[in-house]
Structure 1
Amino acid sequence: MPSSVLAFIIALVIVLLITPVIIKFAIKTGAMDAPDKRKVHRQPIPRLGGLGIYISFLIAVVFISLTTDITAGHINELLGLLIGGTFIVIVGIIDDYTNLPAKIKLIGQIAAACILVSFDVRIDFLSNPFGDWIFLEYLSLPFTVFWIVGLTNTVNLIDGLDGLAAGVSTIASITLLLVAYQQGDMFTVFITAALVGSALGFLKYNFNPARIFMGDTGSMFLGFILAGVSIIGAVKSATTIALIVPILALGLPILDTAFAIIRRYRGGVPIFKPDKGHLHHRLLDLGFTQRQAVLLMYVFSCFLGVSAIALTQVNEYVGIIILVFIISVIIYGAKKIGIFHPKNNLHA
C-alpha cells in the first residue's frame, strides 16, 4: 500500500476513534464555546476538536516516517512542521480555555512561523507570469512569516459554521496534494494525505449539527500546516506564479479575510473588530440554512481548487486570462450579496 494512502487511513481512523473521547474531555474541563449574538449556535458546544486533528495527523506522519523512507531528504522540513505545528496547537489550546487577547495570539502565531523558518522553510523567490524570477533576498524572512501567519489566520477566521473550516481545509489539502502529485513531490503528497484524513474524519462530528468545534486549536493548526506545505511543496515551482496555486486552493478563507478588511476600513471600523458581514453570515441572511451555506461554500472552494490545478497545466497567457475571469466573478458575486456594505459591521 502506498505510504500516502496509509497515512490517510491512519489519520482518518484515529480521528474517528479519539474525537468522542475529546468531546467528553472538553465538556469535563470546561472547553466550551458559549453562544453570543454573532455566533449561530444556540447552546454551548465543546471546542477542543482540533486536538483530535492534531493527534491523528501527528501519529500518521510519525508512523509513516519511521517505517518508510518517504521523508528522506526532508527531515528538516518535517521537524519544522511538527515542532511549529505543536507550538501553534499549544497556543490554540490555551486560547480555547481562556480566550487569549488577539495581540497575544498573534505573537504566538509569529513565534510558530519563526520556528518553521528556523528549519529553513522559507519563500526565497517568486516567479512572474512571464517566466522571470524575483529573488526576495533580505525580504524572504518577513515575507515567509507574513505568509504563514496570514494563512493561519484566514482558516481561523472562516471557522464560523458547522463543518466549514474542516471542509474547506480538506478541499484545499486535496488541491495541493493533486498538484504535488502532478509534479512528483511525494513528500508533499504524504503530508497533505495525512491532513486530508485528519480533517475529513473530524467532519463526522463537526458537520451540522456539530457535536464539537475544532476551536482555535484546530483552525490555526490546519492553516499553519497548509501554509508550510505550500512553501515546502513543488507548488512553489508551479508554472504560473509561485504562490497563486495555494492562494486559490485557500481562496475562500483568503477572500473572506480580504473582504472583511475592506468592509471594515470602508465602514470606519477597526480591522480587528468582529462583525456579522462574513461570507457565511451573508448567506444565512439571504435565507440559506447552515447546511446549504456550507455546501455552497464547498462548491466554490472546489471551483477554486480545480482552477488552481488548471493553472499548472496552461501557459502563462492563458493563466492570466483565467485569473482575470475568476477575479471578475468574485468581485461581482461579492457586490451582489452585499459583502462590502458597511451596515454589516455589527460588533460582537
Structure 2
Amino acid sequence: MSKYYIAFFLPLILSFSFTPLAKKIAYKVGAIDVPKDERRVHKVPIPRLGGIAIYLATIISMIALLNLDRSVISILIGGSIIAITGIVDDIKPMSAKLKLVLQVVAAAVLILGDVKIEAITNPFDKQHGLLHLGSFAIPITIFWVVGITNTLNLIDGLDGLSAGVSAIAALSFLFITYGSVTGEASIIIMSAIIAGAAFGFLPFNFNPAKIFMGDTGALFLGYMLSVIAIEGAMKSVATIAIVTPILALGLPIFDTTFAILRRLIDKKPIMEADRGHLHHRLLDKGLSQRQTVLVLYIISVILGASAIVIAKVNPGSGILIISFLAVLAIISMTRFGIVNSRKNHRSK
C-alpha cells in the first residue's frame, strides 16, 4: 500500500511547489485571462498557465514510479503533445481545427503504444463476455480520447471546478481498478498520480483563484483521465465496463452532451461558447461560486461512487442504477434549464 500513498503525495507536493513558478511564467509570457465577456465569472485578470504545474508533477511522478514500457512511453508522449498544445493556446489562442488535429495525433500516439479500446464487456452474453471491436477499435479510441480531453476543458468555468472534478474522477478510477480482480498496479498508481497532481494545484485554484489551469491543465487532465479509463476501467471491470468510466466522468460528459443538444435546438454552431452550462445555471439560481462548485463536487462524488458500486454488482442491478441516474439527470437538467435553453434566454 505504501507505493500508492507515495503515488498520491509525491505529485501533490510537486504540483503545490510548481504552481507559484507557473504563475510567474504566466505573467512573464502574458498568459493572462482577462474577463471580457459575460461567460467569465471572475472580475480581475488571472494568470492561466497553472496546468504546467499539473503536467510536470504528473510526468515526473510517472517516470519515477512506473516501469517505462511501450504503453507508458506512449502516454507520456501523447500527454506532452496535449500539454504543449495547451501552453501555446494559453499564450496565443490557436484555431479549433489545429487543436483538434493535435489531439487526434496525441490519440494516435496512444494507439501506437497499444493503448486502445479493443473490446467492451457484454453483460447480456455470459458465455463470451466481450464484444470485440475489431477495425472499429481505432476510430472509437480516437473519439473517446478526443471527446474526454475536451469535456474537462468545457466545464472549466469556475474556480476549482475542473481540478476538483478531475481529482474525484481519478480517485473513482483508483477504487474501481483496486477493487477489481484483474486490477493493475500501474493503473492504480497512475490514478493516484492524477488525483494528487490535481489536489496539489487546488489550493491556488479554489475560489478566490490565484491562478487558472488554462487549456494546459484542463486538456491534459482530460487526456490522462481518458487514458486511465481505457487502461483501467474498460479492461478490468467484469460487468458493464463501458458504463463505469462514463459515470466516473459523468459531470463533464453529461454537461457537454446537453451543451451539444442545447446548441442544436437553438440552431447554433456546436463549438460556439455560451452561458448555458450547468455551473452557469446554478449561479443564475443565486448560488455563489463556492456553493456552485461544492454542489458539483457532490454530484461528481455521487456519480463516482455509483461507478464503483456498479463495478461490483451483477448486470441487472447495474442497469437499474444506471436507469435511475439517467432519469434523475434528465429531471435535473430540465429543472435547471440546461436543455430548454431558448426559453431561458428569452426570459433574461
Q: Which TM-score applies when normalising by structure 2?
A: 0.95
1:1-348 → structure 2 map (5 Å cutoff): 2-36=2-36, 37-65=38-66, 71=67, 75-131=69-125, 132-183=129-180, 184-343=183-342
**Cα deviations across residues 102-156 of structure 1 (Å, max 9, x unaligned)?**
1111111111111111101111111223144221111110000000000001111
Amino acid corresponding to residue 100 of structure 2 in structure 1: L
Give distance in 2, aligned partners of 1:62 and 1:122. 21
Amino acid corresponding to residue 101 of structure 1 in structure 2: S
Worse overlay, 34-43 or 321-330: 34-43
The alignment partner of 1:233 has SS state of helix
The alignment partner of 1:200 has SS state of helix
Give distance in 1, aligned partners of 2:40 and 2:233. 38
Give distance in 2, aligned partners of 1:149 and 1:234. 18
Give distance in 1, aligned partners of 2:280 and 2:40. 9
Give distance in 1, aligned partners of 2:280 and 2:213. 19
Aligned residues of 2:70 and 2:113 also touching (Cα < 8 A): yes
Give distance in 1, aligned partners of 2:9 and 2:236. 29
Q: Deviation of residue 310 (structure 1)?
A: 0.4
Aligned residues of 1:176 and 1:235 also touching (Cα < 8 A): no
| Identity value in percent | 47
**Cα deviations across residues 26-83 of structure 1 (Å, max 9, x unaligned)?**
1121011111221111111100000000001111111123xxxxx3xx7122111111
Cα distance change on mapping 1:128 and 1:325 into 2, 3 Å? same
The alignment partner of 2:123 has SS state of coil
For structure 2, the 5+ residue unaligned runs are none
Aligned residues of 1:129 and 1:320 also touching (Cα < 8 A): no
Q: Deviation of residue 160 (structure 1)?
A: 0.5
Amino acid corresponding to residue 87 of structure 2 in structure 1: I
Give distance in 2, aligned partners of 1:9 and 1:337. 38
Residue of structure 2 in register with 1:68 after alignment: none
Cα distance change on mapping 1:337 and 1:11 into 2, 3 Å? same
Give distance in 1, aligned partners of 2:82 and 2:345. 29
Amino acid corresponding to residue 132 of structure 2 in structure 1: F
Give distance in 2, aligned partners of 1:233 and 1:327. 24
Tell me the C-alpha RMSD between the 2 structures.
Answer: 1.4
The alignment partner of 1:126 has SS state of strand
Give distance in 2, aligned partners of 1:64 and 1:316. 35
The alignment partner of 2:120 has SS state of strand
Cα distance change on mapping 1:105 and 1:79 into 2, 3 Å? same
The alignment partner of 2:139 has SS state of helix
For structure 1, the 5+ residue unaligned runs are 66-70
Give distance in 1, aligned partners of 2:165 and 2:131. 30
The alignment partner of 1:271 has SS state of coil
Aligned residues of 1:208 and 1:290 also touching (Cα < 8 A): yes
Q: Deviation of residue 234 (structure 1)?
A: 4.9
Give distance in 1, aligned partners of 2:299 and 2:143. 25
Amino acid corresponding to residue 90 of structure 1 in structure 2: I
Q: Which TM-score applies when normalising by structure 1?
A: 0.95
